[in-house]
Amino acid sequence: MRVCTVCQEPVPSGMPVCPRDGGAAEEPGDEIIGTMIGEYRVKGVIGEGGMGQVYEGLQPVIGKRVAIKLLRRELATDKVEAARLLGEARSVNAIGHRGIIDIFSFGALPDGRQYFVMEHLSGVSLSQHIRMHGALPVEDTLKLLDEMLAALGAAHGAGVIHRDFKPSNIFLVAQPDGSSFVKLLDFGIAKIAPYARGETPQTRVSRVMGTPEFMAPEQARGQPVGPRTDLYALGVVAFAMLTGEHLFDADNPYEIVNMHLSKAPRVPSSVRSEVPPEVDSLVLSLLEKDPQDRPPSAEAVREQLKRLRKALHFNATRLALAPTSMTRESLGVVPSAPPPPAPSAPKKALADSATRHSPSSLGPDKATRILNAPRATPPQGGSVDSSAPQLEQLAPSERRAMRVGGAVLFLFAGLLVTGLWVLLRKPPAPEPVPVEVVEAVVVAPAVPQPQVVEPRPEIDPRDTAAVDAVRAEVARSETARTEAARLEAELADAARAEAAKVAAAKAEAAKAAAAKAEAARIEAARAEAAKVAAAKADAPKADPLQARYKRIQGAWAKSRASRSPEDRRIFDVMLSEVGKQLTGGSRAEATESLNDFVAGALNGKEP
């Protein structure tokens, strides 16, 4: 069966291109591609592993994309591998968590190969992300670890131990807003403990399950595994995220396993210096050789991680918001002897000096000493003596600090005044909103505008003529209002009737378009059926005499061994002569020879 290279749908035999999109018809490299597995059309291969292949599937009616994990053909009769595939589906459905891949269908192909259908994910695995971008930022690492711990906690709560927790089984699902979240994959070698968060023995003592780079010591020894086994693998994954390297690396897997058993782990900060010591301690607690020395559960690690993230965020915020004014000790200023008195200077020099030295930038003792110092009395000539020892004793670094402190105080005062002005000012009158004039669909008589009545002077009740005039004017106003209401009602009725006509016209147009599309589809189907019928008519018809010769050949092959050597030689020659007659001789002679052969070689029994 050939499939279209564009839509991956089957192409009818005898047609060189796809009748749907014109794509070339080619034989698929994988016989599964283009076929139906359950209700899903197989579109292509997503990945491949030791147990089987993962294909992309599409529900042809609603367009839902799925992933289909299919057991390898050579493992179809292996009861252990088939049980592992079923166990993976059961393990995942026993958890039911957002951070665990969802499996929602299970079945088997006619040849016995089992499969299950799971959700299709968009994104990259953690191993691909580390390979492309290297080590992750510390904050991103802690965020992903929290999501992984949530998923592992749900799995352990359901009694499921992953046993193969590694970056390639951690998928970063892409979100429309650019963010991502974690999903754990491949529970193919997961074990179900007899009770939640309990330990369970491994399947075979002689067969260690897992990946050497991420294997806990007890798992490598074939001892019972539990939630702490997955937490050890989580520590190895955390090290890889923080450093971009494996915790242990060697030329063969046996050396790596031996390192997990006996070698002390490296701290992440030994590879990447910006990793905080608190993060080092968390990772090392997960990498303890003895399971009893590790945290008791994923929930306990999440609580520790929550406190750690809060502390790191507080420290980073405090560092970023540290004040710019410092004390003399923090600035490294060493007190020195006061300089000799300087000659007198203008007032501006003293003002500049006072501005540069804000009390907020000095230590409390220094500020008090300067503020309480006696003020110099200017001489009668009007000049100010700038030789005040309290200010001139300040070092240049102190002056800079006071200048910065003064600027900060000035800025704060400006912000305070601005805020008070914003709170106390009278809000401006709202601007008139422009009204868009929409042209009416229905043309109707214009509604008369109400007349503006000018204020009239008071009317003397005894003036009957004036009273009658007012009564007549009021009557005319009432008539005008009644007429306006009537016209407005007529306008609304006309608008509703016109809207109903437009809706009916749109419905008719939609029906016509649907009928036209259906007619085109039927016509295309008829053309396709005609092509298929023509292809079948042009196909060469089977020769009944040739078919009979083939059947007799098969029957002779089965009974030949029971005949004597002489009979075999004679009847082999006869059958060979019949074949020659079929290809180049008379059909009548061939028919007669076949009858003779059946009578002699097959004892007259027509196969």
CA-to-CA dists, residue 107 to 39, 74, 186, 195, angstroms: 11, 17, 18, 28
How many Cα neighbours within 13 Å face the side chain of 237? 27
Residues acting as catalytic residues? 164
Per DSSP, what are the bridge partners of residue 124? 172
Q: What token pair was written down for 458?
A: 């008071």
Per DSSP, what are the bridge partners of residue 181? 173
Q: List % helix, strand, coil for the chain (3-state, nearest 5).
A: 50, 10, 40
8 A C-beta contact, residue 82 and residue 151: no
Q: What token pair was written down for 533?
A: 């019928």
3-class secondary structure, 441: coil
Please tell me the distance from the alpha carbon of residue 18 to that of residue 24, in angstroms, as a whole number: 6
Strands 123-125 and 114-119, by their bridges, are: unpaired
With helix as H, strand as E and coil as C, how does 98-116 read?
Answer: CCECCEEEEEECCCCCEEE
Q: Where are the beta strands (DSSP E) in 445-516?
A: none
Q: What token pair was written down for 302?
A: 């999440």
Nearest to 184 by CA among 234, 139, 137: 234
Per DSSP, what are the bridge partners of residue 184? 100, 170
319 contacts: CB under 8 Å, gap ≥ 6? none
8 A C-beta contact, residue 199 and residue 224: yes
Please state, as a whole number, how many other Cβ atoms lie within 10 Å of the Cβ of residue 43. Answer: 19
129 contacts: CB under 8 Å, gap ≥ 6? 136, 172
8 A C-beta contact, residue 169 and residue 151: no
Nearest to 325 by CA among 399, 402, 409, 412: 402
332: left (phi over 0), alpha (psi -120 to 50) or beta: left
Q: Return the DSSP state at 274.
A: T
Nearest to 192 by CA among 228, 218, 157, 242: 157
Nearest to 54 by CA among 71, 30, 79: 71
